[in-house]
């Protein structure tokens, strides 16, 4: 490799290190520190989706650490879905999933539309009686029967969200009726109109463990109340989306006459 090209690559690695910030030699293991620095830079959009990372060797030289340490940090971030490797081309910041807020869609539909495979791990699937909070959200009388579903949602093998859903018993034949997609199981009772509330959240330890992310990571909680075509409330779901993987996009139009 020509000296000139090598020095340009060193400069690129140097600029990268200036952006993500320094390692601290005497604190946590270096690969964990590097992983955290890159992760923070992705969460805050300092590193953009699709951006190339410097080659492992250049980054190792610039940081004066071993290449194995850099590789370990990169591998952790590839496993977490934040970086992708492309054969022969290098390592890149993964594209974030853009969720359109102008249309009602299900998690499965969102993922399939992007060529990803939706998958869920069930935490619980139960039948019970409404809690006071659910009764208010679903407009049900005390004592009404509901189904509750708690799932970890994945795109391919990357964890994306935790979802806690409560569905009134009239809307489904049984809890087992929900296989992969709740909206498929609801069929023509799936929401035709929804009300949503968004809130910034930090993942608790137990939730972070389920998603394989660090406790305290930033996320977005979306509370959805869904109404069937006949006007009845058919869904009360709290979705906790990973803040480092999702962008929420909405098209807004000015009111008439402006």
Angle subtended at Cα 79 by Cα 77 and Cα 85, rounded to the nearest 5 degrees: 75
Which one of 224, 228, 240, 242 is in contact with ligand 16G (CB under 6 A)?
224
Answer for the pair 67, 32: CB distance below 8 angstroms, yes or no. no
User: Quick one: 102 or 145, whose CB is closer to ligand 16G?
Assistant: 102
In the complex with ligand 16G, the residue whose CB is nearer, 62 or 233, is 233
Q: Is 245 in the site for ligand 16G (CB under 6 A)?
A: no
Minimum distance from residue 171 beta carbon to ligand 16G (Å): 12
- Mind spelling out the 3-state secondary structure of 38-81? HHHHHHCCCCCCCCECCCHHHHHHHHCCCHHHHHHHHHHHHHCC
Q: How many CB atoms lie within 10 A of CB 155?
A: 21
x/- binding map, residues 78-117, to ligand 16G, per CB under 6 A? ----------------------------xxx---------
Per CB under 6 A, contacts with ligand 16G among 131-190 are: 163, 165, 181-184
On whether the CB atoms of residues 151 and 122 are closer than 8 A, the answer is yes
Q: Which is nearer to ligand 16G, 78 or 177 (CB)?
A: 177
- Shortest distance, CB of residue 178 to ligand 16G, whole angstroms? 7
3-state secondary structure of 7: helix
Q: Does 62 bind ligand 16G (CB under 6 A)?
A: no
Contact between 201 and 219 under an 8 Å Cβ cutoff? The reply is yes
Residues that bind ligand 16G (CB under 6 A): 106-108, 118, 163, 165, 181-184, 222, 224, 235, 237, 239
């Amino acid at each position: 490799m020509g000296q000139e090209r090598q020095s340009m690559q060193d400069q690129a690695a140097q600029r990268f290190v200036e952006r993500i910030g320094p390692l601290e030699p005497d604190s946590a293991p270096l690969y964990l520190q590097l992983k955290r620095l890159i992760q923070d830079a992705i969460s805050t959009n300092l590193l953009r989706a699709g951006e190339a990372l410097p080659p492992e060797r250049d980054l190792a030289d610039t940081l004066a650490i071993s290449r194995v340490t850099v590789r370990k940090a990169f591998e952790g971030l590839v496993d977490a879905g934040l970086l992708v490797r492309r054969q022969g081309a290098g390592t890149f910041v993964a594209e974030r999933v853009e969720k359109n807020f102008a249309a009602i869609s299900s998690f499965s539909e969102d993922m399939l539309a992007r060529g990803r495979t939706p998958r869920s791990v069930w935490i619980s699937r139960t039948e019970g009686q409404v809690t006071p909070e659910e009764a208010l959200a679903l407009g049900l009388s005390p004592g009404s029967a509901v189904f509750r579903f708690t799932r970890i949602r994945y795109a391919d093998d990357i964890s994306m969200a935790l979802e806690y859903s409560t569905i009134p018993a009239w809307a489904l034949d049984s809890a087992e009726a929900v296989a992969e997609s709740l909206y498929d199981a609801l069929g023509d009772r799936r929401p035709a109109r929804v009300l949503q509330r968004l809130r910034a959240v930090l993942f608790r330890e137990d939730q972070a463990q389920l998603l394989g992310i660090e406790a305290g990571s930033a996320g977005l909680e979306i509370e959805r109340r869904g109404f069937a075509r006949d006007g009845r409330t058919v869904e009360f779901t709290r979705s906790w989306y990973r803040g480092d993987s999702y962008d929420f996009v909405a098209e807004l139009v000015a009111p008439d006459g402006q």
